[in-house]
Structures are given as C-alpha cells and as structure tokens.
Amino acid sequence: MITRQEYKEARRFIRDNGYSVLHWLSPRQVIVFAHLQIIEGSQDSLKERADVVAWCKREGISYNFHHLARH
C-alpha cells in the first residue's frame, strides 16, 4: 500500500510526464501504477468514443459513428 500523499504525488508526476517515469517512483508506487496502467489501457472504449464525439462537437466537425469504429 501507498499513502494518499504518495499516490497524489506519483499521479501528478505521471500525469505531467507519462508512464515512462515509472522507473523514478518507489517500488511500491510502481506496483500500484503499473496495475492502474493495465486497467486504464484495457477498458472503456465507450468513454474514448464519447471523448471523440465531444471533441468533434467542440470543433464543429461533423461525424458519424462509422468514424468512431476501430480498424
């Protein structure tokens, strides 16, 4: 386990620099964030699609759901 403060510091560091900074974290933090990376990378394609739709609306780009299909 890591403390809330350790989590917040590591999360901010990763958010600013990406997951390539895992080697700078403590071994306990690496275990936690490597696991989170797997979870985040393998789920919620619906959220990804919603983000694309929101971006298209914001930019005034017409879209349809065929644009959102993964190839």
CB-CB contact of 52 with 63 (8 Å)? yes
Q: Where are the domains of the chain?
A: 4-59
Q: Give pLDDT, residue 13.
A: 86
Q: Which residues contact 14 (CB under 8 A, 6 or more apart)?
A: 21, 22, 33
Q: Identify residue 71 by its one-letter amino acid code.
A: H
Could you tell me how many helices (H) and strands (E) the chain has, helices first? 3, 0
Separation of alpha carbons 63 and 71, rounded Å: 16
User: pLDDT above 90 covers what percent of the chain?
Assistant: 1
Average pLDDT over residues 29-35: 83
pLDDT exceeds 80 at position 45: no
pLDDT at residue number 71: 43
Residue 19 has pLDDT above 80, yes or no: no
Cα–Cα distance between 61 and 57 in angstroms, integer? 6
